[in-house]
């Protein structure tokens, strides 16, 4: 593939090259072994951490490199583009923004240098609950202030990377739903030390899933948190979470772009190499055109990813763009995944070609961190002014 870099990405060549070189040391055999064993890619995440990429967003004064979200998206894009799975490490990038933008100076001083040094990880975020689903305002996990502590009870589901994270951002209701003016008020976020919490009110049960994604059910039973665990002001947690979710959507959009380029590169190469009926299958327009179209879709979606990231970095409203970027990139990547598996014929299903693994990995992003319908309804209501449907 010749034109494999978008114009907007050119200014990030140094980051791109460095992350690409690191990722190249974790080849397809590594990811296949990890996937087969349903293991966490510790060696890969350690290498990213040691090279400083996992603390990219932490300001220099706290020991990080103070990069922008746009630059962080380039790091994540290179992970998926190399054939890896960024789901093991993207949490630290998007959770970081919650702490950076809403944490107190004491919290930043206490945690950021240790995260930058690789001594602590901030990979986990507990928002989703089994009964509330996407309607986050209906969460049932409650935190009640008792003196200098909060006592938390409830349940979370799909809390990812908890076993590989010393810190977790936890959303809980601190004012009952019937006592708030707006249903999005009265929720708060806490920074939980999982080393202290697991076994002392927090029980973790892994969920085996379609992707090799470390994710869990979490049961919270009288978990005591010091009052200083509260991030920002009590009752404003939903607002903070939304800002963090914009970062998450933009990072995942970039991961989808990386996946998309990987699928297109793989499909194009295979179509040149595979000879059937005496000629490369890529000589047939029935094979060429879908690959060309998938490439165009990725290129177009990538523009929205950069637009959203740029707005986020300028601290401008980016809810619509973050949602649109995530949606367009996830759709384009899924389109490219389908083209890639079709181009490979039967071999697309063989684990050794990596296509089926990446196919599963990229499919997730049409559902998580937010599903397609919810993005469509956001755009319909908030951008186009159509009546609220729920």
Ligand X SMILES: Cc1cc2nc3c(=O)[nH]c(=O)nc-3n(C[C@H](O)[C@H](O)[C@H](O)COP(=O)(O)OP(=O)(O)OC[C@H]3O[C@@H](n4cnc5c(N)ncnc54)[C@H](O)[C@@H]3O)c2cc1C
Residues that bind ligand X (CB under 6 A): 125-128, 133-134, 158-160, 209, 211, 213, 215, 364, 367-371, 373-374, 377, 390
Q: How far apart are CA 211 and CA 266, in angstroms?
A: 20
Residue 227 tokens, joined? 């009052």
Shortest Å distance, C-beta 39 to ligand X: 16
Interior/surface letters 208-232, b for 16+ CB within 10 angstroms, e for the rest? eeebbbbbbebebeebebeeebbbb
Coil vs helix vs strand at 280: strand
Q: How far is the CB of 31 from ligand X (least distance, A)?
A: 17
Minimal distance in Å, beta carbon 211 to ligand X? 6
Q: Give the C-alpha separation, 127 to 143, whole Å.
A: 14
Closest contact distance (angstroms) between CB of 171 and ligand X is 8
Nearer to ligand X, 350 or 376 (CB): 376
Give CA–CA dist 307/325, Å, rounded. Answer: 8
Contact 379, 324 (CB under 8 A): yes
- C-alpha distances in angstroms, 20 versus 13, 140, 184? 10, 43, 41
In the complex, residue closest to ligand X by CB: 133
Of 245 and 264, the one with the shorter C-beta distance to ligand X is: 245
Residue with tokens 């996937």: 35
Q: Which is nearer to ligand X, 168 or 301 (CB)?
A: 168
Contacts of residue 58, defined as CB under 8 A and 6 or more positions apart, other chains included, come to 64, 65, 66, 96, 100, 112, 115, 116
Compute the least distance from the CB of residue 175 to ligand X, in Å: 21
**Positions of E strands within 111-148:** 124-126, 142-146
314: which 2 tokens? 């300028």
Of 155 and 159, nearer to ligand X (C-beta) is 159
Cβ closest to ligand X, residue 103 vs residue 369: 369
Q: How far is the CB of 130 from ligand X (least distance, A)?
A: 8
For residues 160 and 174, which CB has a smaller minimum distance to ligand X in the complex? Answer: 160
d(CA 128, CA 210): 18
At its nearest, how many Å lie between ligand X and the CB of residue 160?
3
* Least distance (Å) between residue 140 CB and ligand X: 13
Taking the least distance from each CB to ligand X, the nearer of 149 and 363 is 363
Nearer residue to ligand X within complex by CB, 123 or 343: 123
Say if CB 312 and CB 318 are below 8 A apart: yes
Closest CA to 250 of 299, 321, 317, 332: 321
* Paired residues of 217 in beta bridges: 157, 205
Residue 216 or 343 with smaller CB distance to ligand X: 216
Q: How far is the CB of 255 from ligand X (least distance, A)?
A: 13
């Amino acid at each position: 593939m010749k034109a494999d870099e978008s114009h907007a990405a050119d200014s990030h060549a140094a980051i791109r090259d460095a992350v690409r070189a690191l990722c190249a040391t974790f080849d397809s055999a590594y990811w296949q072994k990890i996937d087969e064993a349903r293991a966490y890619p510790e060696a890969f995440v350690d290498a990213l951490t040691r090279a400083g990429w996992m603390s990219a967003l932490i300001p220099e004064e706290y020991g990080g490199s103070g990069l922008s979200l746009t630059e962080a998206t380039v790091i994540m894009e290179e992970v998926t583009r190399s054939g890896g799975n960024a789901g093991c490490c993207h949490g630290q990038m998007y959770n970081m923004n919650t702490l950076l933008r809403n944490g107190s100076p004491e919290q930043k001083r206490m945690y950021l240098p240790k995260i930058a040094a690789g001594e602590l990880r901030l990979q986990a975020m507990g928002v989703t609950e089994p009964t509330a689903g996407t309607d986050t305002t209906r969460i049932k996990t409650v935190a009640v202030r008792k003196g200098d502590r909060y006592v938390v009870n409830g349940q979370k589901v799909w809390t990812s990377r908890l076993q590989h994270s010393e810190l977790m951002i936890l959303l809980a209701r601190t004012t009952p739903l019937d006592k708030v003016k707006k249903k999005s008020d009265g929720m708060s976020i806490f920074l939980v030390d999982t080393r202290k919490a697991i076994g002392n009110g927090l029980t973790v049960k892994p969920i085996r899933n379609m992707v090799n994604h470390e994710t869990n059910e979490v049961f919270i039973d009288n978990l005591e948190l010091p009052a200083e665990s509260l991030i920002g002001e009590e009752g404003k947690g939903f607002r903070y979470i939304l800002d963090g979710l914009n970062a998450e959507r933009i990072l995942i959009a970039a991961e989808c772009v990386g996946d998309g380029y990987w699928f297109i590169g793989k499909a194009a190469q295979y179509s040149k190499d595979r000879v059937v009926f005496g000629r490369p299958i890529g000589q047939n327009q029935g094979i060429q055109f879908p690959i060309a179209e998938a490439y165009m879709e990725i290129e177009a979606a990538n523009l929205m990813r950069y637009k959203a990231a740029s707005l986020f970095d300028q601290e401008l409203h980016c809810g619509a763009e973050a949602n649109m970027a995530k949606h367009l990139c996830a759709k384009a990547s899924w389109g490219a995944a389908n083209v890639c598996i079709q181009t490979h014929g039967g071999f697309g299903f063989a684990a050794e070609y990596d296509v089926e693994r990446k196919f599963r990995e990229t499919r997730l992003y049409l559902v998580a961190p937010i599903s397609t319908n919810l993005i469509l309804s956001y755009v319909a209501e908030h951008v186009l002014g159509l009546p609220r449907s729920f």
